A = this chain, B = another copy of it.
Amino acid sequence: MDKKSLLIETSLKLFYQDGIHAVGINHILATSGVAKKTLYNHFETKEALIQACVIERDKRFMNWLSQACQHAHSTSQFIEFFFNALDDWINNRVQALGEFRGCFFVNTSAEYSDLDNPIFQQCLQHKLKVKTYIENSLSAFTNDIGECQQLTDQLILLKEGVINSAFIMQDKQAALKAMKILKLSV
């Protein structure tokens, strides 16, 4: 693995584990075994490294989600795949996303919560991307745009609730509970 990727990999893991401000550059260097000059060769500042991490996390998340839902052939099947994927993640069956500690984007936003902060904006954009992905996927199964949008809103709302509850309440059944709610209402 090239040094730049190694640095992002290491930082992503440490940032997700302990938060951004709590993890110093030196800690990242010691863990990755990379020299300081190499880091500042690839990234102008710590902030640039953080931004690269957010981009990488977004990539991994979208890859995982789209793969998990790709074989859905109906709305109800999409819902099932979607929440099963979340269930896998919060129960640590998805290696690409690391040991579950809630939503990386929410955790990161909590440390950069000003609306005009570029890191917050990156996190917001990720969430919008997920929303667009869901809406596009669902639109294949129905012609009713309103219904499609409403279901997207509901999936998003429940997804955020699942991730949050699984993290802070340690409710590892959250995804299955959420699936039930939608199955009752759809």
A1 located at the interface, meaning its Cβ lies under 8 Å from any Cβ of chain B in the complex: no
A157-177 contacts to B (CB < 8 Å): 157-165, 167-170, 174, 177
Q: Report chain B residues within 8 Å CB of A113.
A: 17-19, 101-102, 107, 167
Query: Are A168's CB and B21's CB within 8 A?
Result: no
Chain B: minimal CB distance from A113 (Å): 5
Q: Report chain B residues within 8 Å CB of A107.
A: 107, 110, 113
Interface size class of A (residues with CB under 8 A): 35 or more
Q: Report chain B residues within 8 Å CB of A22.
A: 21, 111
Counted per complex, copies of this chain come to 2
Query: Are B165's CB and A109's CB within 8 A?
Result: no
Query: Are B184's CB and A157's CB within 8 A?
Result: no
Q: Report chain B residues within 8 Å CB of A181.
A: 154, 157, 181, 185
Q: Apart from A22-B111, A102-B110, A103-B164, what are 7 other A-B pairs with CB-CB below 8 Å?
A: A17-B113, A19-B21, A101-B110, A102-B106, A110-B110, A157-B177, A160-B164
Q: Which residues of A contact B (CB under 8 A)?
A: 17-19, 21-22, 101-103, 105-107, 109-111, 113, 115, 123-124, 127-128, 131, 153-154, 156-165, 167-170, 174, 177-178, 181, 184-185
